[in-house]
Chain A
């Protein structure tokens, strides 16, 4: 272990120290706004360190290993680190007012959230099975407590469900990792990769290896579907999203999902690489994608609670993203304009802007109207034109209409599918987005058309207004100039491909 190892994980170190300081300061300081500021300062500092790592100020260049090769700092992990940290800033920055009125244990709220972010940051850069699992646990356990912090019945129920199901998923993932280790003899991604690609001794061995790995992969993928909020582990999503404090819902829907996809992509492209598995994997992901999209969209049609509706919508979006994962084209990366993983990265970035904007606005508005019922949003246009406009932009982006980022994301994902001869999957995706028009338009109708049914005044706090405005600009900017992200995404994807 050298000093450089610590430099490489300096963003994580900074955030975990911030978390601990927040816990301690909470005991002495009564002004809880200060704690929010400390958290944001910590996150921003770690953001600067991340930039430093990517630009060569701290280390020579990305692509280095640390801590006995269990952590790798490459463009891929940097991409996700930036995404996670900035989403964290958005969530914490806009939840100051929310926690001051809704949460009793304010210091714990911030500290646990920061710890979970630390786990996410480690997760996206780990290249070793045990590190992956430990980081996964580090992301999940604080979240269990965070979901419970609403301190009401639904919140506690949601937390219990989250705890048990998250444990089930961890066990399944662990079981999958065991298979990977058992049949390859190593926990390091690179070793597993070279073992798989070098095993040509006897066809019989290869069959056994393949079946062993197959079990491992299916277990692993289905376990991770908990993180992705995708079929078959999607059922907790509506209950937990509804019960959890709304900032945590926003965090779950964006950051947790992004980290899940990061792990999935890294395992596919670094471990399984150019092996015979691509067809099997592609079929597996296609099935999960179809089920996720369809379940999400069909169930969303009947929802009257906006948080539940968006919960189903996240399931559907996980499905669209999985189309991009299913579009495996390992040899074509770097040559093709739209490869699947590149589309996934772009989609995740755009989705972060879109979904955070939507959820943060809901925090702001529902605080004033005192309900999460869709009908409570009636007449919002009159009460607060700007809020309803920003909400409309994010809903339009979720629906996938130009010139928003949601539209371009779908274009890239679907064209990646077509590129890899998965045209049928792209068609299922397009049909699904037609279905989804129904419930997204319903939100717009309620906001813009329906007469107002309560007199409550809408007061959205300044921090939420500012962050959602930035979000809206991001939605439009990335929609108009996708190259801003696409090129970075391509470099990021190139850095994890083992051929």
Chain B
């Protein structure tokens, strides 16, 4: 079997799984729907094994550009289907198939009693297919197609419980909000296209960049537009507010799409087009600042949320901020190292949250507590994930986060100092909110779970839970244990400080630099003083969280707490200030109108401005023939005048022209 076929198989096997589940088990053999979980797990497992093969093969052969067949060819120009296999792709293949595999196994237990069982697994397989297509794409059109498909599958999965109105609203919000980003990406791609259609091919684009084809202010605009796509997909400020709402979907979906893989697509995009971004220093600063700001901003909101999944969602936004910050500062390898480690431990944390809610029936941490005694395995695993996320030695998060912090520290410029302080603050906050989660959920005494919660049915995923919390079944624990093991060791194992024999020093970082655009190998350092600083900050965060939990510190009536619990009044800002103030006073511009439409929480209400505009238009569209004719002839006259004036040659006067026309006619 040739190498190329392996990649085709990696891509298509999940798709076949999607077809089998979507057609056979959802429509025809509904009674056998239990098989569909097995189908998806098997297909993802095959893809995972093949991805490992391809990684081994990559180590032998290096970067490969595979063109399969002509797709849109006229003459000898056009687009070919093909794969771009570089270290980034190889790594993403492992992350996507690996995390997906763990989560599908978990889902078999988690979704067991759900009516839409095979629908769920067919969507999950569709998502895996789309994500694999995204990372394998060799040209920007294919990349964009899969980018949209990823968005569609996310939409389907967030709205999976479509009987729940909040889920449908959240799905729509996520879809429309990321489409604002997609719009940027699309126009950005069109900009690249306008430089020449050969640049749609990514390797050719790299060559074009290095030969200086892309320069000047056009480059900046192009990069800003492309970055907008990444901002939307990776939920960076200011397009972040869809991600916490997206937690309305089933928990395994949150684990796979909204923490480990889909939301990293934005980071992946920056990495894929890294030479382009790198050639404009302005955009790099913008990227770094947005990333650094998001890292802290999202973490602060995580500190006060009471919903365990929302805390994790804010944490994801914050960690993605770190990756974006690292890319903006030029640390390609560090960013993707963090993406790699983050995928495993964040998936673990989400699965733990799912396991906890499986036991208690709620996601609200106020009604949990004391679960340590009831579900010890989940407790230990959550603790491992949390320590890794906080970045405690020697867990995997420690290595990747410190790589980012250390490089920024070494950069030694005024901006990088600010960014370093932001990033360190983020470390403190991360420790604070994660410790809070652990304390509220597992320590203290049990608060009764779902039965204590007032609005019982509206928020629960699963109604027939026992009153006494219990440990989750083995099929759910098994993937969690694997992920827990990886969370502990994978950071050091793949990118060690010293030569381990079977893994060389900084193996992962060096591996990532074997791509098409880095010529000279870089030095990688481990900065000892940064490690000390961040560990101290993390411990400070943990200690203060414990103090608050034990009642030693009172923050409830604090001014800062109020701002944070209201998410910086961000949604209020969107709704009250922009929507009401601007539109009731009729100074809304078209832009904020779009903004309003997309951010507006209630999908039934279209903005007052649109209704106003629509009504004005309807006045003309009144069913009267006269007004139809009137509009037509007005438009005709106006266009005629406009074109005459704009095409009047200098020196022609109207009188001359009319005389000439007259003489011609008679």
Contact = CB atoms under 8 A, between A and B. Distances in A.
A401 B623 CA distance: 34
B19 to A, nearest CB: 12
Interface string A357-379: 00000000000000000000000
Contacts of B141: 411
Given A235-B620, A434-B594, A449-B159, A486 B190 contact: no
B228 to A, nearest CB: 12
Contacts of A210: 647
Contact of A483 (B73, B148, B180, B627): B73
B27 A212 contact: no
B73 A437 contact: no
B31 to A, nearest CB: 16
B584 interface: no
B161 to A, nearest CB: 10
A238 B621 contact: yes
Interface stretch (B469-477, B574-582, B634-642): B634-642
B71 A207 contact: no
B269 to A, nearest CB: 17
Given A218-B640, A236-B628, A437-B175, A430 B74 contact: no
Given A287-B639, A423-B194, A490-B74, A449 B168 contact: yes
B172 interface: yes
A427 B187 contact: yes
B661 A298 contact: no
A228 interface: no
A132 B606 CA distance: 44
A183 B664 CA distance: 9
Interface string B593-636: 01001100001001000110110011011010101110110111
B70 A483 contact: yes
Contacts of B664: 183, 208, 212
A407 B148 CA distance: 10
Nearest to B146: A402
Interface stretch (A110-118, A140-148, A412-420): A412-420
Contact of B628 (A165, A183, A337): A165
Nearest to B22: A389
Contacts of B647: 210, 214, 280
A445 B168 contact: yes
B162 interface: yes
Given A222-B632, A238-B621, A337-B197, A430 B187 contact: yes
A401 B614 contact: no
A84 B420 CA distance: 65
B170 to A, nearest CB: 13
A419 B73 contact: no
Interface in B633-666: 634-636, 639-640, 643-644, 646-647, 649, 652, 657, 660-661, 664-665
A211 interface: yes
A497 interface: no
B149 A298 contact: no
A431 interface: yes
Contacts of A490: 74
Contacts of B190: 414-415, 418, 423, 426, 430
Interface in A227-275: 231-233, 235-236, 238-239
A482 B78 CA distance: 12
Contact of A214 (B148, B183, B643, B652): B643
Contact of B613 (A168, A298, A407, A438): A298
A385 B186 CA distance: 33
B152 interface: yes
Contact of B632 (A168, A238, A414, A435): A168
Contact of A231 (B71, B148, B152, B635): B635
A103 interface: no
Interface string B175-190: 1100110010011001
A299 B652 CA distance: 42
Given A407-B145, A434-B594, A426 B74 contact: no
Interface centre among A212, A239, A418, A482 (most CB of B within 10 A): A418
Contacts of A437: 175-176, 179
Given A215-B640, A284-B639, A483-B73, A239 B623 contact: yes
B11 to A, nearest CB: 13
Interface in B135-185: 141, 144-146, 148-149, 152, 159, 162-163, 168, 172, 175-176, 179-180, 183
A169 to B, nearest CB: 8
A104 interface: no
A298 B614 contact: yes
A208 B635 contact: no
Given A214-B643, A337-B78, A295 B186 contact: no
A190 to B, nearest CB: 23
A363 to B, nearest CB: 24
Given A164-B625, A302-B611, A449-B159, A337 B74 contact: yes
Contacts of B617: 295, 298-299
A233 B627 CA distance: 11
B149 A402 contact: yes
Contact of A284 (B197, B597, B643): B643
Contacts of A238: 621
B635 A222 contact: yes
A434 B72 contact: no
Nearest to B636: A222
Contacts of B652: 207
B77 interface: yes
Nearest to A419: B194
B8 interface: no
A283 B193 CA distance: 22
Contact of A172 (B180, B191, B597, B636): B636
Interface in A134-184: 160-161, 164-165, 168, 172, 182-183
Interface in A441-499: 441, 445, 448-449, 481-483, 486-487, 490
Interface string B60-88: 00000000001111100110000000000
A483 B179 contact: no
Contacts of A60: none
A403 interface: yes
Given A222-B632, A427-B187, A430-B187, A207 B649 contact: yes
B72 A337 contact: yes
Nearest to A389: B27
B210 to A, nearest CB: 23
A165 B625 contact: yes
Contacts of A487: 74
B631 A486 contact: no
B614 A207 contact: no
Interface string A277-305: 00010011001000000010011011000
A302 B635 CA distance: 24
B643 A218 contact: yes
Contact of B594 (A183, A411, A435, A449): A435
Contacts of B187: 423, 426-427, 430
Contacts of B640: 215, 218
Given A161-B625, A483-B70, A418 B193 contact: yes
Given A238-B621, A295-B617, A302-B606, 4 more contacts: A165-B628, A168-B629, A222-B636, A487-B74
20 contacts: A161-B628, A164-B625, A165-B629, A211-B660, A218-B636, A232-B639, A284-B639, A299-B614, A302-B614, A337-B72, A402-B145, A407-B145, A418-B193, A423-B187, A423-B191, A427-B187, A435-B594, A435-B597, A437-B175, A483-B73
Interface of B: 27, 70-74, 77-78, 141, 144-146, 148-149, 152, 159, 162-163, 168, 172, 175-176, 179-180, 183, 186-187, 190-191, 193-194, 197, 594, 597-598, 603, 606, 610-611, 613-614, 617-618, 620-621, 623, 625, 627-629, 631-632, 634-636, 639-640, 643-644, 646-647, 649, 652, 657, 660-661, 664-665
Would you list the 8 A-B pairs with minimal beta carbon distance, nearest first?
A: A232-B635, A402-B145, A235-B628, A418-B194, A449-B162, A418-B190, A208-B660, A302-B614
